[in-house]
Amino acid sequence: MSKVIDITGQKFGRLTAIKREGSNSDGKALWLCKCDCGNKVIVVGKSIRNGHTKSCGCLSVDRTRSMGKSNLKHGDSKSRLYNVWRGILKRCNNPNNHAYENYGGRGIKICEQWEHSYEKFMKWSFENGYEEGLSIDRIDNDGNYEPSNCRWVTASEQSRNKRDNVLITYKGKTYCMTDWAKIIGINVDTLWRRINEYGFSAKEAVVIGKHKARKNNARALGRHMAKVYVLK
Q: Smallest Cα–Cα separation from 104: which of 48, 183, 22?
A: 48
Roughly what angle, to the nearest 10 degrees, separates helices 177-184 and 188-196?
A: 120
Q: Smallest Cα–Cα separation from 70: which of 9, 132, 118?
A: 118
**Model-wide pTM > 0.75:** no
Q: Which residues pair with 145 in a beta bridge?
A: 110
pLDDT tens-digit readout, 73-96: 555 556 788 889 999 999 999 988
pLDDT tens-digit readout, 149-205: 999 887 666 656 654 456 777 777 777 777 788 888 887 777 777 776 666 777 777
Percent of the chain past pLDDT 90, that is, above it, reads 16
Task: Count CA atoms closer than 13 A to 12's CA, side-chain side.
Answer: 21
C-alpha separations of 134 from 128, 176, 182, 206 in Å: 11, 20, 20, 21
pLDDT tens-digit readout, 130-150: 887 788 988 887 899 999 999
pLDDT at 24 over 60: yes
